[in-house]
């Protein structure tokens, strides 16, 4: 396993991280607390040292389980959490988005409660969870500085979503030298990641990028195939049918990234992301120990060649020569699509 630094923070992360949204929630299948703890500890054994959770996952359950699982190796791992959703006063309705609260007093209290659940004195990375651009105020930035000065956090980040727009927020975080920006980014969804690469180059920012959903909800790791029936409550079901139908066609055109016995498609999807210098770590959604075995090794598989990277670029620019709607034209944006339109992206913002 290779490691990288988040921004200029001095915080080190494994190139493949563990997205702990699968711990303490049932969005990707039910598992007992013991199973979840065992899975986290297994990931540590496979060289993963970066663990990314959030206070809203399972309304605190993910943090509690992660803290218990990592208690004996706390000094050997990097832990990130997220705050900004007020789940204390609002019940969760399915996978719907809860009301956000980004006032400094609330955020400070949320951090303190997260630390209590994690049973930790400090957290390595604190991320604002889906903050709108107008919510990242000077007062919020001042609070983040205060939390660092007080030793409660070591690095700051912004986790974007829940969809794959939010260009204005990511640009602001990069310009403000946040240590990390987490985003949806994969071979089949490149617009936002490419935009932030340009922003980092333009500004000279040290901000690191943390891609999530590297397998595009099961297409690139072939866990969702034409024969797959997604169960009720499976988080991957939010994708329209057209997305999967066109995605399977695109997958066949990407087979050249596989190397028999050396690099699987699931590993290639992660390796492609790691080929971009600002990417510090990639957080796939591990569902089984087999997933951990395969994807943790992606840090050490043969790197993609320049020719392979160029071929991927050419396929994407030409939309894989598929002249059919993929059902994903509606991207959520906090500024009514102005950020996406100004970036020249051929997408529409959701109402």
Cα gap 196→205, rounded to integer Å: 11
- The pLDDT confidence band at residue 333, using thresholds 50, 70 and 90, is low
User: Greater confidence, 269 or 90?
Assistant: 269
How many domains is the chain built from? 1
Residue 88 has pLDDT above 50, yes or no: yes
Cα gap 249→246, rounded to integer Å: 5
Residue 160 placed within a domain:
yes
CATH of the domain at 60: 3.20.20.100
Residue 349 placed within a domain:
no
Task: Check residue 272 and give left, alpha or beta (phi > 0: left; psi -120 to 50: alpha).
Answer: alpha
Cα gap 83→131, rounded to integer Å: 9
Residue 329 placed within a domain:
yes
Residue 219 has pLDDT above 50, yes or no: yes
- The pLDDT confidence band at residue 234, using thresholds 50, 70 and 90, is low
Residue 350 placed within a domain:
no
Residue 35 placed within a domain:
yes
pLDDT in tens, 35-53: 889 999 999 999 999 999 9
pLDDT in tens, 268-319: 999 999 999 999 999 999 989 999 999 999 999 999 999 999 999 999 999 9
Residue 348 placed within a domain:
no
Residue 297: helix, strand or coil by DSSP? Answer: helix
Residue 348 has pLDDT above 60, yes or no: no
pLDDT at residue 351, as a whole number: 29
pLDDT at residue 139, as a whole number: 98
- 257's tokens: 């990234």
Residue 223, classified by CB atoms within 10 Å of its CB into exposed (0-12), middle (13-18) or buried (19+), is middle
Residue 221 placed within a domain:
yes
Q: By 3-state DSSP, what share of the chain in percent is helix, strand and coil, each rounded to 5?
A: 45, 15, 40
- 167's tokens: 């260009």
User: What is the CB neighbour count within 10 angstroms for residue 11?
Assistant: 22
For 82, the domain range is 3-343
């Amino acid at each position: 396993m290779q490691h990288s630094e988040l921004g200029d923070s001095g915080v080190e992360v494994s190139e493949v991280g563990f997205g702990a949204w699968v711990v303490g929630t049932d969005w990707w299948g039910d598992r007992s607390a013991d199973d979840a703890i065992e899975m986290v500890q297994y990931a540590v054994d496979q060289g993963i040292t970066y663990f990314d959770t959030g206070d809203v996952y399972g309304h605190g359950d993910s943090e509690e389980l992660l803290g218990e699982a990592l208690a004996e190796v706390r000094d050997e791992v990097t832990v990130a959490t997220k705050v900004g959703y007020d789940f204390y006063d609002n019940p969760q309705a399915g996978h719907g988005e809860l009301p956000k609260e980004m006032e400094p007093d609330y955020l400070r209290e949320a951090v303190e409660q997260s630390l209590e659940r994690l049973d930790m004195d400090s957290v390595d990375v604190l991320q604002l969870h889906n903050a709108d651009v107008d919510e990242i105020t000077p007062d919020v930035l001042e609070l983040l500085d205060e939390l660092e000065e007080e030793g409660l956090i070591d690095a700051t980040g912004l986790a974007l979503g829940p969809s794959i727009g939010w260009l204005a927020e990511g640009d602001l975080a990069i310009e403000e030298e946040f240590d990390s920006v987490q985003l949806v980014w994969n071979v089949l969804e490149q617009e936002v990641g490419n935009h932030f690469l340009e922003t980092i180059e333009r500004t000279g920012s040290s901000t690191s990028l943390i891609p999530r959903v590297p397998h595009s909800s099961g297409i690139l790791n072939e866990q969702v195939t034409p024969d797959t029936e997604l169960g009720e409550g499976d988080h991957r079901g939010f994708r329209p049918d057209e997305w999967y139908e066109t995605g399977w066609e695109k997958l066949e055109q990407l087979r050249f990234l596989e190397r028999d016995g050396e690099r699987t498609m699931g590993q290639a999807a992660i390796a492609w992301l790691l080929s971009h210098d600002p990417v510090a770590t990639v957080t796939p959604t591990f569902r089984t120990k087999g997933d951990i075995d395969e994807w943790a090794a992606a840090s050490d598989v043969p790197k993609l060649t320049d020719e392979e990277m160029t071929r991927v670029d050419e396929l994407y620019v030409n939309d894989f020569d598929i002249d059919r709607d993929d059902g994903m034209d509606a991207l959520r944006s906090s500024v009514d699509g102005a950020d996406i339109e100004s970036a020249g992206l051929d997408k529409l913002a959701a109402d």
